[in-house]
């Protein structure tokens, strides 16, 4: 929960916000101004910023944190778009300033995390990076002043295509057709290394009269600042993990709070899924008086990613229960003996369940099978030793709860393709 | 999120519910009936019941699940009472029926979990168990019919004391003074074993004319059913973990959905904290047509427990950062070399951070110290080997990132008393 004032601090947002009211207040919700009402956070960055400002005296800066938590958006639920979902965020926040090496380190942390999921069927992920200063400098150099408006329309490229975006740039952002075409040309620019990026950008800028001289000098200088950071990012990333980050100048991030680098991440062969990991640098989100806490962060949309892995990438849970072994129960009077065996196994780190009822043995085994538990343990009766049956292979052997180890192949809890 | 209909399914609840409305709907919230609005769950049991009914065809019963998640209650926040907090729940749900051995196994799982926290300063926890059938049979045997009302008042005993509860039983529940006193006598009954419990209960019941004969036969039979289960629970628990569960007949659980066993858990010397782990058996919460899914579950109020451990029991985090070692950076041009060392350490499972800036070495060490990182790594320069300094002891030794191991005492992340 956050106050409405905190959620709406940055003014208009592209996110749909849920407000809360107590059941007792139904019919009187509007008595409280939105700013004073409580709402659910629509991301993990706005609450982080509030937290950093409130606790700045106690934190060591640069402050790094990860957070995996639910967020809520008041949208119509549909395939890949949830009202309630889990995000996994990493951010670094500085006090006053923040070195730009974090702008390459943070996307690489996410790439490393996503790379670990490839053995479960996730395709290769590539971070597409852009820089708002680069875009803003270019737009201003063209003579466009509604920078936020242009970014908002460019953000729609993947959804509605270049022709529709061009029309919107003209109708909504005061662009003429040449300016609109130039914005689309910039958006079509990609590069895998810094030199290539600088050459292409300079050629495009020059073609539209944006240079370091004359009237466009200030706009060009702003664009150049963004260009240099972006070039550094792709080159450093290529040195550490080749092919993980490319410059892609259509990345806009709509109405978000970013002020420099912006990132989106796409999976090979899954363009329709959209970005699975997005973020950027935000210099003005957290501030108090004239103190600023600039940050860089990225967020994985975990629910959507897991949904994709299960429904499209072919990952599935190999069994229902985490238990490796189920101890059978001969009769309810002997349940205590079965419990003791299970407790002995558990104390050795072996997850054990006990049969729910002293049903016929076949029914107990069927229950273990339904839960995907690979072993059933038979407590010894009348002085005989215990035995354990691998219900996958059918093998049954004598066993002692103080020393028995499951076969790792059967006992492993895996998510297989 | 749940629908209002789901949250209010069991009618009146003692929990304060938050309803949601989209920012765009402000002023029009009341257009939608409460049942169709979305709300935040106030516990994890109501959503579990909905889940079980919706997925009954796909689940293997008895269905066991644990869940650690936030819940919300629209209350005035105060010490130990939060609006937004984390609960840790375990439940077992049966299809049609559920063996009563789960009524002793589940509280013992919670006791085992709480026992593990004793090394971090948590006092001994004792589960106090009662049974609603026992209470209801006794109240009805006395001639009282507003059983829910009596339970609600008895639930206030710890807060307002016996005299005030007696007054409320008379004014709110139609009890006369004798009946009120009898209810309080029942509530004062405790026992550590089943035989003692049965003897004390029978003596009290007989003193108030409640016996297995005549007019009170039906009420007595109901009470006896609860008594037998409760006696089984304390005896079985005593056999497995002596002193972990006692019968305490004042436990009522207010307006909750329990139908049999009820549990509250108290910490030695922390009575004012109230119950840190509560639950019970609920036979009617999940149902569909004439199918019933009876359950037993308990919930730890994790936020309150952690708050107590940090503020009263003396637990604290031993350091701020999970990193064991911080790699120093000689100059920004040499940051890549420091990154490589950190990555080598990380690939070996050693959590490593890299200095945020190539500041003077003293400043870098101070940063590590502020984060509680015990080691600072110095990359070798001009052909020399790397060295690592234990900034707690001051020892500095040659080290190789491919083989170095931190001293376990310094590297361990612990919560100490």
**A45 is an annotated ligand-binding site residue:** yes
Sign, Cα dihedral of B75, B81, B84, B85: negative
Do B190 and B270 lie in one domain? The reply is: yes
By DSSP bridging, strand B352-354 and strand B316-317 are: unpaired
A342 and A295 within one domain: no
Q: How many helices (H) and strands (E) does chain A have?
A: 13, 20
Whether B68 has its CB under 8 Å from any CB of chain A: the answer is: no
Q: Tell me: do A93 and A204 sit in the same domain.
A: yes
Residue B23 lies in a domain: no
Beta-carbon separation of B23 and A24 below 8 A: no
| Last residue in a domain, options A276, A294, A315 | A315
Confidence of residue B413 (pLDDT cuts 50, 70, 90): very low
B300 falls within a domain:
yes
Q: Which residue of A has its CA nearest to B237?
A: A336
Q: Is the pLDDT of residue B409 over 70?
A: no
Residues A164-210 have pLDDT tens digits of 999 999 999 999 999 999 999 999 999 999 999 999 999 999 999 99
Residues A290 and A389 in one domain: no
Residues B230 and B341 in one domain: no
In a domain, B185, yes or no: yes
pLDDT at A316: 81
pLDDT digits (tens, 9 = 90+) for A311-330: 898 888 777 888 999 999 99
CB-based contact A97:A287 (threshold 8 Å): no
Q: Are the C-beta atoms of residues A132 and A151 closer than 8 Å to each other? A: yes
Q: Residue A409 — pLDDT band, cuts 50, 70, 90? A: low
Element housing A411 (H / E): helix A408-411
Distance from the first to the final alpha carbon of chain B: 38
Going by their DSSP bridges, the two strands B295-301 and B291-292 should be labelled as unpaired
Peptide bond into B326 cis (omega under 30): no
Which residues does B6 contact at the CB level (< 8 Å), separation at least 6?
Answer: B46, B47, B50
Q: Tell me: pLDDT of A342 over 50.
A: yes
Of A410, A407, A388, which Cα lies nearest the Cα of A398?
A: A388
Q: Is the pLDDT of residue B248 over 70?
A: yes
What mean pLDDT is predicted for residues B151-157?
94
Query: Which tens digits make up the pLDDT trace of B256-266?
Result: 789 999 999 99
In a domain, A135, yes or no: yes
| Domain match, B299 and B370 both | no
B294, B283 Cβ separation under 8 angstroms: yes
Among A13-22, A88-97, A172-181, the least confident range: A13-22
Count of the separate structural domains present in chain A = 2
Number of Cβ within 10 Å of residue A112's Cβ equals 14
Q: Is the pLDDT higher at B234 or at A78?
A: B234
Determine which of B234-238, B320-324, B412-416 has the lowest per-residue pLDDT on average. B412-416
For residue A366, what is the domain's CATH number?
3.40.50.800
**pLDDT single digits (tens) B307-325:** 999 989 888 877 788 899 9
Question: Across the interface, which of A26, A39, A99 has its CB nearest the CB of B356?
Answer: A99
Say how far apart CA B140 and CA B184 lie, in whole Å: 15
Same domain for B298 and B195: yes
Mark whether A144 and A174 lie in a shared domain: yes
> Quick check: A16 contacting B, CB < 8 Å?
yes
CA-based torsion, B318, B321, B326, B332: positive or negative: negative
Cα atoms in the 13 Å half-sphere on the side-chain side of B365: 13
Q: Which of A291, A315, A339 is the last residue of a domain?
A: A315
Are the C-beta atoms of A139 and A187 separated by less than 8 Å?
Answer: no
Q: Model ipTM?
A: 0.86
Least CB–CB distance from A336: residue in B21, B38, B239: B239
Q: Out of B19, B70, B332, name the one closest to residue A26 (CB).
A: B19
Q: Are strands B261-267 and B277-282 parallel, antiparallel or unpaired?
A: antiparallel
Give dist(CA B317, CA A411) in Å, integer. 34
Chain A residue with minimum CA distance to B73 = A22
Q: Tell me which chain B residue has its CA closest to the CA of residue A18.
A: B22
Q: Smallest Cα–Cα separation from B267: which of B75, B101, B124?
A: B124
User: From the list B18, B236, B343, which residue is nearest A22 (CB)?
Assistant: B18
CB A396 within 8 A of CB A407: no
Instruction: Specify if B252 maps to a domain.
Output: yes
Provide mean pLDDT across the span A149-168.
94
The DSSP result for B45-64, as a single string, is HHHHHHHHHHTTTTPPSSEE
pLDDT in tens, A225-234: 999 999 999 9
Mean pLDDT of B161-190: 97
Q: Are residues B348 and B264 in the same domain?
A: no
Instruction: Considering only the C-alpha atoms of chain B, give the largest distance between any 2 of them, rounded to a whole number of Å.
Output: 99
Query: With an 8 Å Cβ cutoff, are B23 and A18 in contact?
Result: yes
Range of the domain at B361: 325-416
From A50, A134, A139, select the one nearest A93 (Cα to Cα): A50
Phi and psi at residue B299, to the nearest 5°: -135, 125
d(CA A106, CA A122): 20
Structural domain includes residue A58: no
CATH code assigned at B262: 3.30.930.10
Angle between the B335-347 and A217-240 helix axes, to the nearest 10 degrees? 40
What is the longest distance spanned by two Cα atoms in chain A?
Answer: 100
Distance of residue A82 Cα from the nearest chain B Cα, in angstroms: 12
* Share above pLDDT 70 across residues of chain B, in percent, rounded to a whole number: 95
Nearest to A382 by CA among A327, A325, A330, A328: A330
Asked if residue A2 lies in contact with residue A47, where contact means CB atoms within 8 angstroms, the answer is yes
- Does the pLDDT of residue B99 top 60, yes or no? yes
Residue B7 host element (H or E): helix B4-7
Provide the pLDDT for residue A286: 83
| Average confidence score pLDDT of chain A | 92
Confidence of residue B415 (pLDDT cuts 50, 70, 90): very low
Query: Which residue, of A287, A315, A343, is where some domain finishes?
Result: A315
Between chains, do B22 and A101 touch, taking CB under 8 Å as contact? no
Contacts of B72 in chain A (CB under 8 A): 1, 20
In a domain, A1, yes or no: no
The answer to whether the CB of A279 falls within 8 A of the CB of A297 is yes
Mean pLDDT computed over B194-203: 97
Query: Which tokens sit at A3?
Result: 């106050």
Rounded to whole angstroms, the Cα distance separating B92 from B78 reads 32
Q: Does the pLDDT at position A112 exceed 90?
A: yes
Q: Distance between CA B311 and CA B308 in Å, rounded?
A: 5
Q: Is A279 helix (H, G, I), strand (E, B) or coil?
A: strand
Which tens digit of pLDDT belongs to each residue from A354-381?
Answer: 999 999 999 999 999 999 899 999 999 9
Tell me: the pLDDT tens digits for A241-295? Answer: 999 999 999 999 876 789 999 999 999 999 889 999 999 999 988 888 889 999 9
What's the rounded mean pLDDT across residues A9-21? 76
Q: What is the CA radius of gyration of chain A?
A: 28
Among B residues 32-61, those touching chain A with beta carbons less than 8 Å apart: 34, 38-40, 60
**Which string of DSSP letters, residue by residue, matches A168-195?**
HHHHHH---HHHHHHHHHHHT-EESSHH
Do B282 and B357 sit in the same domain of this protein? no
Task: Assess A370–B contact: CB distance below 8 Å, yes or no.
Answer: yes
**Domain identity same for A310 and A345:** no
Predicted confidence at residue B153, as pLDDT, reads 95
Same domain, B278 and B408: no
Is A35 inside any structural domain? no
């Amino acid at each position: 929960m956050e106050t409405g004032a905190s959620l709406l601090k940055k003014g208009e947002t592209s996110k749909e916000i849920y407000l809360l009211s107590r059941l007792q207040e139904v019919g009187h919700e509007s008595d409280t101004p939105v700013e004073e009402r409580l709402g659910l956070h629509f991301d993990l960055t706005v609450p982080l910023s509030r937290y950093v400002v409130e606790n700045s005296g106690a934190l060591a800066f640069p402050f790094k944190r990860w957070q995996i938590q639910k967020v809520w958006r008041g949208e119509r639920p549909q395939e890949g778009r949830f009202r309630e979902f889990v995000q996994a965020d990493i951010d670094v926040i500085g006090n006053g300033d923040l070195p730009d090496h974090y702008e390459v380190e943070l996307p690489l942390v996410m790439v490393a995390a996503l790379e670990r999921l490839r053995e479960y069927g996730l395709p290769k992920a590539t971070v597409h990076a852009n820089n708002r200063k680069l875009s803003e400098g270019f737009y201003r150099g063209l003579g466009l002043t509604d920078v936020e408006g242009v970014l908002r329309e460019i953000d729609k490229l993947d959804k509605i295509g270049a022709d529709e975006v061009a029309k919107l740039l003209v109708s909504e952002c005061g662009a003429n057709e040449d300016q609109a075409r130039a914005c689309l040309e910039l958006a079509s620019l990609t590069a895998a290394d810094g030199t290539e990026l600088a050459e292409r950008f300079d050629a495009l800028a020059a073609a539209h009269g944006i240079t370091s001289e004359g009237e466009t000098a200030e706009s060009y200088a702003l664009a150049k600042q963004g260009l240099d950071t972006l070039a550094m990012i792709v080159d450093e990333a290529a040195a550490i993990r080749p092919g993980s980050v490319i410059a892609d100048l259509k990345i806009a991030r709509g109405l978000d709070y970013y002020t420099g680098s912006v990132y989106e991440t796409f999976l090979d062969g899954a363009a329709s899924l959209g970005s699975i990991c997005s973020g950027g640098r935000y210099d003005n989100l957290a501030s108090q008086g004239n103190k600023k806490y600039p940050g860089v962060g990225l967020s994985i949309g975990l629910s959507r990613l897991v949904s994709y892995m299960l429904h499209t990438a072919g990952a599935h849970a190999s069994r229902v229960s985490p238990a490796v072994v189920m101890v059978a129960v001969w009769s309810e009077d002997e349940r205590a003996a079965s419990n003791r065996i299970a407790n002995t196994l558990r104390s050795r780190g072996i997850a054990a369940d006990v049969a729910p009822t002293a049903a016929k043995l076949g029914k107990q085994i069927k229950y273990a099978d339904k839960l995907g538990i690979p072993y059933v343990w038979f407590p010894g009766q009348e002085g005989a030793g215990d035995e354990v049956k691998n219900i996958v292979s059918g093998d049954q052997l004598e066993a002692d709860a103080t020393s028995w180890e499951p076969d790792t192949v059967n006992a492993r809890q895996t998510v297989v393709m």
